[in-house]
């Protein structure tokens, strides 16, 4: 029977210090060692191995954290502390966490943060078709033509958007549900239709709703929210594998 092992980038992300993508960058930069050997991508970690980052031993003593924030406009979804408006300093959580995905700086609403690098990849993987719901105000009255055009694929960034569910709520207000996350996607879609976004707020990610969480506030996911999140991620991963 072979000894169990874990891929190095998964091991690093499981400690809560980074995502798998960040781990790969650290490995490529030669900052990671397994025992006394500089690691390379593709290395695996066995039970008795010791892993070092910049010659400091990494120990996995961190409990998994999953929180939701109602991000105010003006906060940047980056872990870079050089950005004075970074989301990490804004939340000021006692443990190291990072955002799952991003919201544009002018946008507001629901964003998840965690120290679980594995779950980040599964939530963001576009082929999983996880829904994200937004409420958007635009500068002009919304027409049926606008709703129809926004619902259909739109050329963007060398590809096309997936068909979307779009519903007019008020004269200048609509709801849109996406299953992908291209850079500034909704703003680009709206501009393609000769409108301009005035306000943009995300109110739902999959089954997790912002509800009455006030702007600027955050809370831990409930047991039920987290359980369903892990179930959905596990189902998505099974379909891909």
3-state secondary structure of 205: strand
| Rg of the chain (C-alpha set) | 20
Rounded to an integer, what distance in angstroms lies between the CA atom of residue 198 and that of residue 172? Answer: 9
Known catalytic residue at 24? no
Rounded to an integer, what distance in angstroms lies between the CA atom of residue 241 and that of residue 235? Answer: 10
β-pair type (197-205, 108-114):
parallel
- Could you tell me the end-to-end alpha-carbon distance of the chain, in angstroms, rounded to an integer? 23
Kind plus residue range of the DSSP H or E element containing 25: helix 20-28
Contact of 174 with 136, CB cutoff 8 Å = yes
Of 104, 116, 194, 212, which residue is the catalytic one? 104
Kind plus residue range of the DSSP H or E element containing 86: none
The residues that are catalytic are 104
């Amino acid at each position: 029977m072979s000894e169990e092992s874990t891929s190095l980038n998964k091991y690093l992300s499981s400690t809560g210090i980074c995502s798998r993508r960040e781990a790969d960058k650290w490995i490529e930069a030669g900052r990671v060692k397994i025992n006394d050997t500089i690691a390379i991508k593709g290395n695996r970690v066995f039970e008795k191995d010791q892993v070092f980052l910049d010659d400091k031993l990494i120990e996995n003593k961190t409990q998994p954290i999953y929180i939701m924030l109602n991000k105010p406009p003006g906060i940047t979804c980056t872990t870079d502390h050089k950005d004075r408006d970074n989301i990490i300093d804004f939340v000021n959580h006692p443990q190291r966490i990072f955002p799952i995905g991003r919201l544009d700086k002018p946008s507001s609403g629901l964003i998840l943060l965690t120290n679980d690098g594995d779950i980040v990849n599964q939530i963001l993987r576009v082929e999983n078709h996880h829904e994200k719901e937004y409420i958007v105000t635009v500068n002009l009255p919304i027409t049926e033509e606008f709703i129809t055009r926004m619902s259909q694929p739109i050329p963007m960034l060398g590809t096309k958007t997936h068909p979307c569910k779009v519903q007019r709520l008020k004269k200048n207000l609509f709801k849109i549900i996406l299953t992908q996350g291209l850079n500034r996607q909704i703003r680009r879609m709206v501009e393609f239709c000769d409108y301009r976004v005035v306000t943009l707020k995300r109110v739902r990610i999959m089954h997790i709703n912002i509800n009455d969480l006030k702007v600027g506030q955050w809370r831990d996911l409930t047991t039920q929210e987290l359980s369903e999140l892990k179930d959905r991620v596990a189902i998505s991963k099974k379909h891909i594998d």
